Structures are given as structure tokens and as C-alpha cells.
Amino acid sequence: MPTKVAIVGQGYVGLPLAMSATGAGHTVLGIDRDEKLVASLNSGTSFIEDIPDSALAEAIKNGYRASSSFEDISDCSIVVVCVPTPLDEKGSPDNSILVSAVHSISNFIKSDALLIIESTIAPGTMRRVVAPIVVDKLGNKEFDLVFSPERIDPLNKKWNLQNTPKLVAGMNDRALARATEFYSTFVSEVVPGSSVEVIETAKLLENSFRFINISFINEIAIMCNALNINVLDVIEAAATKPYGFMPFYPGSGIGGHCIPVDPIYLASAAREAGSPSRFIELARDINSAMPAHFVGRAVEKLGSLSGKKIIVIGVAYKANVADTRESSSVRIIELLKSAGANVSWHDELVKNWRGEKSSKLSQDFDLAILATPHDNIELDALGSVPLIDTRGAN
Ligand SMILES: NC(=O)c1ccc[n+]([C@@H]2O[C@H](COP(=O)([O-])OP(=O)(O)OC[C@H]3O[C@@H](n4cnc5c(N)ncnc54)[C@H](O)[C@@H]3O)[C@@H](O)[C@H]2O)c1
């Protein structure tokens, strides 16, 4: 049944969710504390590759509106939270944005509304952090609360919000039933979880699986390099096995808002419970050493890097997106600079970054390091400049 929904956080998770919910006939209010973003969304300009301006315009025609005022949620029956859950400067989980958003929501949410958290959280966060804030503010112990993690993979052409099964866990049966009814209006399969703790942990297991396997293939790539064997040929050969093997591909580290961050939420909760995860901690060590590995490869090729002109190609964390969060190119550039190199970067999707503009590819470099291979990068423009391909090609 169409309803009035507020979605708090209009980023990579919240905006696509808002578009899908509007498309299913709900009246959607997108709340974000970034007033510039709110103005841009209301003027029909999307910043997310998966959401063209035409889709946003269509949603606006169908009742979507962005706002930076939490007061506007007071007549919504469902409020979904999609705010960031990052790591702090010490590399530990930082719930403060989530906590602040839940406080702001609790000031205005109706006591019979349904509150859904989609932000990625550590096991126990729903029961120990979110529920007490809401229950305390509203004085309603029966308040309907749900955790439903997002599984969005930006630019994935096959798997999207509609056809990816959606995990849903309620703090009570009524909350679970309400959330299932809501998501079923635009998701093909809603999967009920046995408890919020199980689903909090399942989300972290999914991303830790990827984190650990990427670190493993990065280590294999380093080994193959030492053995003078092409790692991509090795992966292709192994992947002919039709069962029990899943290919992962090497790179310069792990970026983005999820894969390098979420496993730390799990490892940190496990450590607090007295059961540290050696796998996650080892994977973090291997991945964070990848930029230094490629700077070492640069030294092998050039000798001293002092005064050498080096261009890093691709500063986004993943191919074909303009998102630079947690990008391992940052560390590569820092290490090259501290070795005295004269470093430029090229990324026509990112264009402007850290006060600098993307440099053109040309033959005027001593070395190029391909960190993120967007489609349509014209490597030919490098001529005979030596290239280190962090994706395992050499
Ligand atoms: N990006 C992904 O691919 C992805 C996939 C699965 C899960 N997640 C998880 O979803 C959550 C959101 O991630 P994202 O990538 O959409 O983040 P994002 O940074 O793209 O968007 C978050 C938005 O929330 C807004 N915001 C921050 N604090 C706020 C507040 N107090 N009130 C209102 N708005 C606020 C920000 O201005 C921003 O626009 C995180 O927990 C993340 O781990 C992300």
C-alpha cells in the first residue's frame, strides 16, 4: 500500500532507494544535512552514476522531494536511515553520525511509525544503541524497529536493488511484517532474518568474505610477480573449475565506503567480545601494504624516484565511478611524493580532487601507474612511458 516515506541520507544508498520507492508509488521525502545536495536534488541534478537526471526528474514529478529539515518526517509512516558509518581517524568504527541522525529522527517521528536502519552496523548496535535512543525519546517500548542492510553495488548492470534479495530483521514481528510489505513493493525477494544480530553479522560476513579474498589474491599476485608468472592467466585457468572456486582479481588495495570499512566493524566487535579475527586483521595488513608494494615496483623500474615524473591513472576507488572514498591511489601518491617523485594524476571521471585537476596523459612521464582502469582511458597517449598495471597485467 503506498505510504509516505522519509529516507535520511541521500547518498549512494539513500538516493537509489528513494528512486525505487517513488517508482513503486510511495511519496518519498529525501532528508540530507547537506543543503547543497538537497538543492541540487530538488533542481533535478543527480550526482550518482546509476541515477540519471531523467530518473530524478521523473521521481520529482511523482512526488519525490529532498529536504534538510527533520521536522518534515513528522507525517511519515516509514523512516529509513542511510547515513554513513565510517571509521574514525584511528581506524575504529564511528557510529556518531548514525547516533546523531537517530536522535534527530526521534525528535519528530510518529510513535506508530516504522524506523528502518540500512546503514551498515556492528552486531548489537540495533539493540544496544539505536533502540534505547528511540524508546527513551518516544517512551514507547513497542516501537517498530527494523534492520535491513543495503547490498547495492554501484554500476553493477546485473544486480540492482530490485533483483537482489533484501534481508530484513525486525525487533518485533509487527515491524518485520511492515518492512516486508514495504520492500516487497519494489524488491523481488524479501528474506526475513531470525534476529537483528544475525542480519547485522550477515552483512559484515558478506563484505569480510570479499575483503579477505581480495587480500588473498593480492598476496598471490605478489607471489606470482616474484615467480615471474602471469597472475591473470593463473586466475583464468583456476576459474575453469565449475565448483568450489570463485575468481577475485588483484589491485592496488581496497577502496570505497564498504569493503575496507565493514570488516573492521566485525573485527572490532569480535575483539571486544574477546575473540579477535586474525583473518580480517591479516587481510587489512596485506591490503594496506599494496600501495607500498607498487611504489617498490616503481623503484625497481626507475631506481631513485627523486625528481621522477610519475602519473597515477585512476584515483576513484573503482572503475567507472567518480567516488574517491578510501581510494588506495591516495596512499600511492603520498608514498611516491615522500620518495621525492613529481606526481600527477589522471582521472577524467573525478576531474577535480584535493584542489588539483586531472592531468592529461602524455609521453612526458618517466612512469605511469594504472591504479583504477576506467573504460576509455587512452593509454596509447603514454607512448613508450613504462606502465605498472596494479590489476595484475604486469
Ligand atoms: N555505497 C555503497 O555501495 C554501500 C553499499 C552497502 C551499504 N552501504 C552503507 O550504507 C550507508 C550509507 O552509505 P552511502 O555510501 O550511501 O554514504 P554517502 O556518503 O554516499 O551518503 C550519505 C549521505 O548522508 C548524509 N548525512 C550524513 N549525516 C547525516 C545526518 N546526520 N542527517 C542527514 N543526512 C546525513 C550525507 O550528507 C550524505 O549525503 C553506510 O553505512 C554504508 O556503509 C553503502
Q: Determine if ligand 1 sits within 6 Å of the CB of residue 8.
A: yes
Of 187, 184, 114, 102, the residue nearest 151 (C-alpha): 187
Q: Which of 8, 13, 205 to mutate to test the pocket of ligand 1 (most atoms within 8 A of CB)?
A: 13
Q: How far is the CA of 96 from the centre of ligand 1 (A)?
A: 13
Q: Determine if ligand 1 sits within 6 Å of the CB of residue 168.
A: no
CATH of domain 4-193: 3.40.50.720
Q: How far is the CA of 187 from the centre of ligand 1 (A)?
A: 20
User: CA 119 to CA 101: how far, in whole Å?
Assistant: 11
Q: Determine if ligand 1 sits within 6 Å of the CB of residue 13.
A: yes
User: What are the sequence ranges of the domains in the chain?
Assistant: 4-193, 210-389
Residue 268 DSSP SS3: helix
Bridging pattern class, strands 387-389 and 367-370: parallel
Closest Cα to atom 27, ligand 1: which residue?
83
* Burial class (CB within 10 angstroms; exposed 0-12, middle 13-18, buried 19+) of 339: middle
Closest Cα to atom 31, ligand 1: which residue?
101
Closest Cα to atom 39, ligand 1: which residue?
11
Q: Which of 15, 82, 109 to mutate to test the pocket of ligand 1 (most atoms within 8 A of CB)?
A: 82
- pLDDT, residue 392, reads 86
pLDDT (tens place) for every residue of the chain, 394 residues total: 789 999 999 999 999 999 999 999 999 999 999 999 999 999 999 998 889 999 999 999 999 999 999 999 999 999 999 999 999 999 899 999 999 999 999 999 999 999 999 999 999 999 999 999 999 999 888 899 999 999 988 888 899 999 999 999 999 999 999 999 999 999 999 999 999 999 999 999 999 999 999 999 999 999 999 999 999 999 999 999 999 999 999 999 998 888 999 999 999 999 999 999 999 999 999 999 999 999 999 999 999 999 999 999 999 999 998 999 889 999 999 999 999 999 999 999 999 999 999 999 999 999 999 999 999 899 999 999 999 999 987 6
Q: Determine if ligand 1 sits within 6 Å of the CB of residue 101.
A: yes
Q: How far is the CA of 14 from the centre of ligand 1 (A)?
A: 7
- pLDDT, residue 140, reads 83
Radius of gyration of the chain (CA): 23
Q: How far is the CA of 44 from the centre of ligand 1 (A)?
A: 20
> Tell me, what DSSP letter sits at residue 301?
H
Closest Cα to atom 15, ligand 1: which residue?
12
Q: Determine if ligand 1 sits within 6 Å of the CB of residue 33.
A: yes
Atom of ligand 1 nearest to the CA of 121: 41
Superfamily of domain 210-389: NAD(P)-binding Rossmann-like Domain (3.40.50.720)
Number of residues in the chain: 394
Q: Do the domains at 4-193 and 210-389 have one common CATH topology?
A: yes
Closest Cα to atom 18, ligand 1: which residue?
11
Residues serving a catalytic function are: 258
Angle CA 129–198–136, to nearest 5? 20
Map 30-54 to HEC letters: EECCCHHHHHHHHCCCCCCCCCCHH
Q: Which of 49, 159, 204, 257 to mutate to test the pocket of ligand 1 (most atoms within 8 A of CB)?
A: 257
Half-sphere exposure of 252 (CA within 13 A, CB side): 34
User: CA 252 to CA 260: how far, in whole Å?
Assistant: 13
Map 152-187 to HEC letters: CCCCCCCCCCCCCCEEEEECCHHHHHHHHHHHCCCC
Grid cell for residue 172: 518485533
Q: How far is the CA of 279 from the centre of ligand 1 (A)?
A: 27
Query: Does the reported pTM lie above 0.75?
Result: yes
Return the number of other C-beta atoms located less than 10 Å from residue 378's C-beta: 10
